Amino acid sequence: MAPVVHLEGVVAVMGGFPVLAGADLHVERGEILLLRGPNGAGKTSLLRLCAGLLPVERGIAQVLGCDIAADRTAVRNRVGLLGHSNGLYADLSVSDNVAFWGATVGASGDDVAASLERMGLSGRLAKVPISRLSAGQRRRTALACLVARRAELWLLDEPHAGLDAAGRDDLDATLRDASAAGATVMVASHELERAGALASRVVEVVGGQVRG
């Protein structure tokens, strides 16, 4: 079966600096992959590259069968990215946000409700504007948006950060369900025991390259 992610010698540049300096990576369908590594190693850039947000300067890069070195836009809408920012609209409520992001992929009202339920955001909380929520609650909302998107490849950048214990358990359960349903998951995290327990494989990202 074709790998979900195939990177060979990938170099990516931001502001003249090579954030990825020859990364090789191979990810099979259904894997939950943990990316470990020091700050500034390139984990975030790697995830953004796979989402089609960072241009490939050199090397071979294929995600979900699409050549993203040639055309970054082809892989979009099959990939879900939860980056450092949440991608939310501060003035809209939780349910407005999730409904909007769900609608961009044609999700129904039921899907949206289910997603909110899943992340513990239904009820009174759903009507609150994002600007009045705590960081952890915003993260949950962002996750709910991701769940509503039903992507084939999930890319999460330090998703546990800011979540309380219950939130982290919910997140882990969500990722396991996604993987069981056939999605592939790549998680960059410093939560080594928790993510390590979740992951089927661990790789090290150092100096813009990948090991392991």
Partner 1 sequence: MTSAVPPTTSTDTASPSGTPGAVRRPTGTRFTRVLGVATLVGMIWLVVFGLFLSPNDATQKAGVRILYIHVPSAWLAYLAFGVTGLSSLAYMIKRTRSLTWDRIAGASAEVGVLFMGITLVSGSLWGRISWGIFWTWDSRLTTTAFLFVTYIGYLAVRNLGGTHQQRAKRSAIIALLAVLEVPLVHFSVKWWRPLHQNESVAEGKLSGLMLFSLFVGIIAFTLLYVWLVLHRQRVLAMEDALDDQGLDVALAERRAEGAQV
Partner 2 sequence: MSTWRIARLIAAKDLRIELRSRVVTNQVLPFAALVMVMFAFALDNDNVLTRVAPGLVWLATLFSMLVLVQRAFAVENADGALDALQVAGVRPGGIFLGKALALGAQLAVLEIVLLLMAVVLYQAQVAASGAILLIITFVAATTGLAFVGTLYGGLAAGAKGRETLLPLLMLPVVAPVLIGATRATEAAFGTNGATSSEGWPWIGLLTLFAVLFGVGGTLAFGSLIDE
User: For residue 197, with 0-12 CB atoms within 10 Å meaning exposed, 13-18 middle and 19 or more buried, which class applies?
Assistant: exposed
Residue with smaller CB distance to partner 1, 19 or 142: 19
Query: Can residue 38 be called a binding residue for partner 1 (CB under 8 A)?
Result: yes
Binds partner 1 by CB under 8 A, chosen from 21, 60, 125, 128 = 21
In the structure encoding, which two tokens stand for residue 193, read together? 């025991």
Query: Can residue 71 be called a binding residue for partner 2 (CB under 8 A)?
Result: no
11 binds, among partner 2, partner 1, none (CB under 5 to 8 A by kind): partner 1
Neighbours of 204 (CB within 10 A): 15
Among the listed ranges 14-22, 103-111, 123-131, 194-202, the one in contact with partner 1 (CB under 8 A) is 14-22
Residue with smaller CB distance to partner 1, 125 or 202: 202
The C-alpha atoms of residue 117 and residue 79 are separated, in whole angstroms, by 22
CA-derived radius of gyration, the chain = 17
Binds partner 1 by CB under 8 A, chosen from 3, 30, 136, 207 = 207
Long-range contacts of 109-112 (CB under 8 A, 24+ apart): 111/148, 111/150, 112/148
In the structure encoding, which two tokens stand for residue 85, read together? 């920012």
Neighbours of 28 (CB within 10 A): 14
Query: Can residue 159 be called a binding residue for partner 2 (CB under 8 A)?
Result: no
Give the interface with partner 2 as residue ranges (CB under 8 A).
51-53, 72-73, 76-81, 83-92, 96, 100-101, 103-106, 129, 145, 149
Give the interface with partner 1 as residue ranges (CB under 8 A).
11, 13, 15-18, 21-22, 38, 41, 55, 57, 206-209
